[in-house]
Amino acid sequence: MKAYMYDNLPGDQRLPHDSGRQVTAEDLAGLGVLYYRFPETSDVDALAAERGYRNRDEIVVSPEKMGDVYEDKVKMFFHEHLHEDEEIRYIRGGQGYFDVRNKGDEWVRIQLEKDDLIILPAGIFHRFTTDESNYVHAMRLFKDEPKWTPLNRAPELDSNNFRKEYVSQYLN
């Protein structure tokens, strides 16, 4: 895992956009973002049991696997949004970027590769993209039935209970 401030320069979202200003795992934890490196899936199993995650699936994001919808899907994942559940992703192959908002509402880019696991808290604004390789294989973990419901950033989300709880816990 490598984390840094996003440079906000124009260009393909899949480029590194590395400003050169590093962000530590401790800084991420201050935003509620947890990072683990798990070379064995048994470690993922233990974390899932500890956090009450009973379901999982795997997704491959690549032009070969997704065909003509790949570019549209990658653009959709890159829309700033939040979820009302934690988002847990374990990278099984390839790499990609999760961008999260910091306390100053700036983007922090988190580069993940094989064996990296990230937990984003409910209510955090974020987005995802592959890197220039256009390939990531990820395991998604869920407490209940698998679902992925993005709520795109909009003023009305300020009153969303999950967003309000996130803000009070991490941004105040």
Please tell me the distance from the alpha carbon of residue 38 to that of residue 46, in angstroms, as a whole number: 11
Q: Cβ distance 97 to 110 under 8 Å?
A: yes
156 is in an annotated binding site: no
Element (H, E) at 43: helix 41-51
Contacts of 93 (CB under 8 A, 6+ apart): 114, 135, 136, 137
Burial label, 17 (beta-carbon count in 10 A; 0-12, 13-18, 19+): buried
79 is in an annotated binding site: no
83 is in an annotated binding site: yes
Annotated binding-site members for Ni(2+): 81, 83, 87, 126
Annotated binding-site members: 81, 83, 87, 126
Annotated binding-site members for Fe(2+): 81, 83, 87, 126
